């Protein structure tokens, strides 16, 4: 691609013209000044639509169960019954942690859990039976309802694949939900691939859940995981699949670009990690493909040395940061201190603001996107601009608050 053509393409993106997949692929390989121009266009598009506010969600992470029927090649979260660290939380354990989080000003309760463990583990079936359930998703509903009613904090569940009935039910107790698309490539499910033993990572099934959530008007978080063996074509196709869902249903509230991290205990321990350049390049393309209105997020704990670079690649959100619990998906990567995140965000020229697990643009259309019984819970916690109420969150003393 000539520099002239590149600059014309970037200008067209800034003027609101959709970027064609073939052009996105060409942009994925630019270098030097052209790479700088790509990042600059993504940042400019973010500035025009989002201004200089960067958000984060003060959250508590509830790993309701780490039993899972899938075996993703990069996962350290999942455990089998009896394995060290295997755990399914009781309602009392959930509430105890959430109450502590509430005292520290957290507003989001992220329920992250393994997918359908009852399908392969009798121990999970027995746990559920004792509580009058057959499926983990029923227990999740009970836990979300208890959190809402007992603490007033806002559940955001991320439990894997869901059918329409599951989504309908969980929508009554969640202000938003999430499911990472990961990648649209079926190839990654082939023997030796990261999803070879993960039936719930089937792209068509994940797209189905995302589409159902769209039909049900559930504010939804999704995203891609980069560096797991996908090609640039597959990565870009995944971003376009998300863009298409958003065009059709308008319920995708944020898109996460998450980077694969090597850990000694995973099957993919010898797989190369994506470098920062790749992450920044993907973030910039995500901004251009998904447009200025989309909330684009990079998790700050996965690349702590790159805050400036990601801000300069067009992100406007750092995602959930917890003062109470660690990142159970990436336990080796501590959340940043809020003071540090705010300082470094400010040093790059931005203001850090807390937000709720549902973004302002969906709160302002509450009658369309929020179950009526949840609206008072949201109104109680949000400020006039739809972000977190000012002064609600404070940096805790971490010494006694880790799970």
**Which residues form the interface with ligand SF4 (CB under 6 A)?**
68, 70-72, 75, 77-78, 114-115, 160, 198, 200
Kindly tell me which of 98 and 225 has the beta carbon lying closer to ligand SF4. 225
Non-local CB neighbours of 386 within 8 Å, separated by 6+ positions: 356, 359, 360, 361, 363, 364
Nearest to 73 by CA among 222, 261, 300, 275: 261
Task: Report the greatest alpha carbon distance in the chain.
Answer: 67
Query: Cβ 140 to ligand SF4, closest distance in Å?
Result: 14
Query: Cβ 154 to ligand SF4, closest distance in Å?
Result: 23
Kindly tell me which of 77 and 139 has the beta carbon lying closer to ligand SF4. 77
Query: Cβ 240 to ligand SF4, closest distance in Å?
Result: 23
Kindly tell me which of 180 and 213 has the beta carbon lying closer to ligand SF4. 180
314-348 burial by CB neighbour count: b if 16+ within 10 A, else e? Answer: bbbbbbbbbbbbbbbbbeebebbebeebbebbeee
Write out the two tokens for 205. Answer: 């099934």
Kindly tell me which of 42 and 75 has the beta carbon lying closer to ligand SF4. 75
Q: What is the DSSP letter of 185?
A: -
Q: 93 — phi, psi (to 5°)?
A: -65, -40
Query: Cβ 317 to ligand SF4, closest distance in Å?
Result: 22
Residue 138 contacts residue 93 (beta carbons within 8 Å): no
Query: Cβ 284 to ligand SF4, closest distance in Å?
Result: 26
Kindly tell me which of 100 and 116 has the beta carbon lying closer to ligand SF4. 116
End-to-end CA distance of the chain: 51
Name the residue with tokens 């039936």: 199
Query: Cβ 198 to ligand SF4, closest distance in Å?
Result: 5
E strand or H helix at 305, and its extent?
A: none
Query: Cβ 335 to ligand SF4, closest distance in Å?
Result: 19
CA-to-CA distance for 84 and 222, rounded, in angstroms?
30
């Amino acid at each position: 691609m000539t520099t002239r053509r590149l600059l014309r393409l970037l200008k067209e993106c800034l003027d609101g013209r959709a970027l064609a997949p073939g052009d996105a692929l060409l942009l994925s390989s630019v270098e030097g000044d052209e790479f700088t121009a790509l990042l600059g266009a993504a940042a400019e598009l973010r500035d025009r639509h989002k201004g200089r506010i960067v958000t984060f969600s003060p959250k508590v992470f509830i790993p309701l169960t780490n039993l899972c029927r899938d075996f993703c090649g990069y996962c350290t979260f999942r455990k089998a019954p009896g394995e060290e660290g295997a755990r399914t939380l009781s309602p009392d354990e959930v509430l105890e942690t959430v109450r502590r989080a509430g005292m520290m000003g957290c507003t989001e309760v992220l329920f992250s859990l393994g997918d359908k463990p009852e399908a392969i583990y009798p121990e999970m079936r027995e746990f559920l039976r004792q509580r009058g359930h057959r499926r983990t998703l029923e227990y999740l509903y009970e836990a979300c309802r208890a959190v809402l009613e007992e603490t007033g904090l806002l559940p955001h569940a991320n439990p894997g694949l869901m059918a329409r009935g599951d989504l309908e039910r969980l929508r009554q107790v969640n202000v938003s939900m999430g499911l990472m698309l990961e990648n649209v490539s079926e190839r990654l499910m082939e023997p030796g691939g990261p999803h070879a033993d993960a039936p719930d990572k089937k792209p068509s099934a994940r797209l189905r859940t995302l589409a159902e959530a769209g039909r049900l008007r559930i504010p939804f978080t999704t995203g891609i995981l980069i560096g797991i063996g996908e090609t640039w074509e597959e990565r870009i196709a995944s971003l376009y699949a998300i863009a298409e869902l958003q065009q059709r249903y308008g319920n995708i509230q944020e898109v996460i670009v998450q980077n694969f991290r090597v850990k000694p205990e995973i099957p993919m321990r010898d797989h190369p990690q994506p470098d920062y350049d790749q992450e920044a390049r993907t973030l910039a393309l995500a901004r251009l493909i998904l447009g200025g209105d989309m909330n684009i997020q990079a998790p700050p704990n996965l690349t702590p040395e790159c805050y400036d670079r990601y801000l300069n690649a067009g992100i406007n959100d750092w995602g959930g940061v917890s003062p109470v619990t660690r990142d159970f998906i990436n336990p080796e990567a501590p959340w940043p201190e809020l003071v540090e995140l705010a300082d470094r965000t400010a040093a790059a020229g931005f203001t850090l603001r807390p937000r709720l697990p549902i973004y302002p643009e969906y709160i302002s259309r509450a009658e369309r996107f929020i179950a009526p019984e949840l609206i008072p819970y949201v109104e109680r916690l949000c400020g006039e601009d739809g972000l977190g109420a000012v002064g609600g969150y404070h940096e805790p003393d971490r010494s006694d608050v880790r799970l």
